Amino acid sequence: MLLGGVQIESEFGLDGHSDADILLHAITDALLGALALGDIGMHFPDTDPRWKGAGSMQFLLHALTLVNQKNFEVVNLDTTVILEKPKLKDYRQQIREHIASNMSLPVDSVSVKFKTAEKVGPVGEGRSAEAQALVTVRRKLES
Ligand code: C5P
Ligand code: MG
């Protein structure tokens, strides 16, 4: 299982068109959403050969470039992964550092939270997983 660009040791994985890194996808969507630039499927359709075989960090970094081109910068990120198994807390620091270094942010500005769905619904039954991300942006100061 790949989460936040970090390989997680697990007997289960997530199935998807790309590398199925739901955490990076949620951050990418949040970056696009902050500037009302559409959504991840619009920018990176799985039919577009340009993105064939692209890793999710490339999607995220492209969205970040679009934010910067609009003259905004990221202040902080707060994310949540909802997954029944495996336990992720031992990976928290590694995931935070990986995202922070790729986005050129201090680790203190990257929050990564985990929760189960308390055994309820498709996520709770271990058939699915979800990720949520909030990103704060601010207009770059005049230089
Ligand atoms: O959702 P729940 O109350 O079971 O979460 C308890 C703790 O377990 C939380 O602090 C969370 O960080 C951690 N957790 C985890 N891996 C998961 C789900 C929750 O490490 N897949
Ligand atoms: Mg709880």
Domains of the chain: 2-139 (3.30.1330.50)
> From the CB of 111, is ligand 1 less than 6 Å away?
no
Closest ligand to the CA of 119? 1
How many whole angstroms separate alpha carbon 125 and alpha carbon 122? 5
CA 29, 35, 41, 45 torsion-angle sign: negative
Q: What pLDDT, in 10s, does the model give residues 125-139?
A: 999 999 999 999 999
Closest ligand to the CA of 89? 1
Q: Tokens representing 15? A: 């199935």
pTM given for the model: 0.96
Q: What pLDDT, in 10s, does the model give residues 44-81?
A: 988 888 888 789 999 999 999 999 999 999 999 999 99
How many whole angstroms separate alpha carbon 56 and alpha carbon 62? 10
> From the CB of 87, is ligand 1 less than 6 Å away?
yes
How many whole angstroms separate alpha carbon 109 and alpha carbon 9? 26
